[in-house]
Amino acid sequence: MLFTSFKNHWARQTSQPMPNTDPALDLEFLDWGLIDYEIALEKQLELVQKLQTYPENKSGYLVFCSHPEVVTTGRQTKPEDIFSWSGKVIEISRGGRATYHGPSQIVIYPILNLKNPRKHRGPQEIRGYIRDLEAALIRTLKHFDISAEGRSLQQKPNNQDLAEETGVWVHNRKVASIGIAVKKWICFHGVALNLEQDPKAFLGLNPCGFKSSTMISVEEILGQKPDLQKFKNILKTHLIEIL
C-alpha cells in the first residue's frame, strides 16, 4: 500500500507533549500520532473541559495527529456531499460540510480560550481566529516555496450569498481544510492539511462541497514527499508566531 510507510511513521510517534518553546504562551503541545477519530474527539473534549474548569491555569493546547480513513460531516453538510463513500462516516459538531481524514494528512487541533486576547487578535474573534489558522499554514507552505492563499468568507461568482470557503488554496486547488467548533468560547476541531498524495482520499464525496479533484496535496505540488518531521516543526513554529 502506498501509505504503509507513512502510517508506520505516524504509529511510532509518542503521545508525549512536545517541548514548549515559548513558555510565555502557556500552550501545551501534544502529538497523538495516528489515532482513531473517535478517540481523538474524546480527548479533545477532555481538554475543552479542563480549560472551562480551570481557565486561569492555561491558555490552551496545540495537538498534532493523523487519523485512519474516515469521513466526518459538519453542521452544513448536504445530502449530495456523500454519494459513494463506503467507509466510516461520523457526524460531528464542527462547522462546514463533509470532508475526509486519512493518514496522509497532518491534522491540527488548537484548543484555545477565545476570550483570551492573543497576539494581534482581540478576544472573541472567531473569524479572526480562522484567518490566523490560514495565515500559519500559508507561512508554512511559503517555506517550501509554495504560494498559497486563504479564503475566509469569499464571494462566489454570480452568487449574492457569502460562502464560507475557509481553508488554504494553491491556485484553484485546496490543500488544507478548516472546520472548528466553539463551546463556551473554547475552540476545538481545526485543520486537516493534505501532506502526502493519497489516491483513495476524497473518493465518493464532494469534500467541503467541492469536487474531489479540487483537493491537492503538498507532495503533488512539490513533486516529491516532504519530510514529515521538518514540516511539522516549521508548522509548529508558525502556529506559535500567530496564535
pLDDT tens-digit map of 16-53: 444 443 434 578 999 999 999 999 999 999 999 999 88
Query: Residue 121: what pLDDT?
Result: 60
Residues 6+ positions from 127 with CB-CB distance below 8 Å: 152, 153
**Domains of the chain by range and CATH?**
27-242 (3.30.930.10)
**Lowest-confidence pick of 8-22, 78-92, 128-142:** 8-22
- Do residues 28 and 20 lie in contact, with contact meaning Cβ atoms separated by under 8 Å? yes
Residues 6+ positions from 53 with CB-CB distance below 8 Å: none
- Across the range 224-233, mean pLDDT stands at 97
- Across the range 202-216, mean pLDDT stands at 93
Q: 208 catalytic, yes or no?
A: yes
- Across the range 96-122, mean pLDDT stands at 85
- For 189, phi then psi, to 5°, come to 60, -165
pLDDT tens-digit map of 119-156: 556 555 788 889 999 999 999 999 999 999 997 644 44
pLDDT higher than 90, residue 234: yes
Identify the band that residue 2 occupies on the pLDDT scale cut at 50, 70 and 90: very low
Per annotation, catalytic residue among 30, 208, 216, 234: 208
Query: Residue 135: what pLDDT?
Result: 94
pLDDT higher than 50, residue 14: no
Task: Return the closest-CA partner of residue 217 out of 162, 166, 159, 175.
Answer: 175
* Threshold 0.85, pTM exceeds: no
Residues 6+ positions from 234 with CB-CB distance below 8 Å: 140, 143
- Give me the percent of the chain exceeding a pLDDT of 90: 61
Identify the band that residue 59 occupies on the pLDDT scale cut at 50, 70 and 90: confident
pLDDT tens-digit map of 166-200: 799 999 999 999 999 999 889 999 999 999 999 98
Grid coordinates representing 202? 476524497
